[in-house]
Amino acid sequence: MNAEDTVEAYYDALRSGDALVPFFAEGETVVKVGISERLVGSERVAEGLREQTRTTSDWVVESRDLHVDGRESVAWFADTVRMSWTTDGGERHDFETRWSGTLEYRDEDWRFVGMHVSAPREF
């Protein structure tokens, strides 16, 4: 699987409610920034992803402008993604988001070492 396939597989796993932790590298410097969180270190990232999977459902992830580039062992991506989900309390969230991140080829697979998801805000 190449880096672009990995990003798309992550989107598929998010939609399906599958485990997301295996997509991330291990280490103290791994970072995942979401709409309402900033997680640093693979343990914190894993905790956050497990909690997200446990407390949300009905994910919609619509990639609209995925760009991936890279070199031998590092790749980067950017995308515009509509995403929505339902919380375990029944609240529906829907956002137009911007995604960017970095992947590194480790242990014979591409893994995220940094991911940033944000929602534009009108001022």
CATH code (residue 20): 3.10.450.50
Give the pLDDT confidence score for residue 97 in this predicted structure.
95
Q: Tell me how far apart the alpha carbons of residues 35 and 102 are, in angstroms, rounded to a whole number.
A: 18
Bin 30: left if φ > 0, else alpha if -120 < ψ < 50, else beta.
beta
> Above 80 in pLDDT, residue 122?
no
Output the pTM of the full model.
0.93
Query: In angstroms, what CA-CA distances link 10 with 22, 43, 61, 112, 122?
Result: 10, 18, 10, 10, 28
- Between CA 121 and CA 108 the distance in angstroms is 39
Structural domain boundaries, residue 35:
3-118
Read off the pLDDT of each residue in 63-72 and give the average, rounded to a whole number: 96
Average pLDDT over residues 32-58: 95
Considering the domain boundaries, does residue 71 fall inside one? yes
Q: Token pair of 101, please?
A: 């991140």
Instruction: State how many domains the chain has.
Output: 1
* Domain assignment of residue 123, yes or no: no
Using a pLDDT cut of 90, give the percent of the chain over it: 92
Confidence class of residue 123 from pLDDT cuts 50, 70 and 90? low
**Looking at the domain assignment, is residue 31 inside a domain?**
yes
Mean pLDDT value across the chain = 95
**Four-residue CA torsion sign, 52, 54, 55, 56:** positive
Stretch 2-21: mean pLDDT: 96
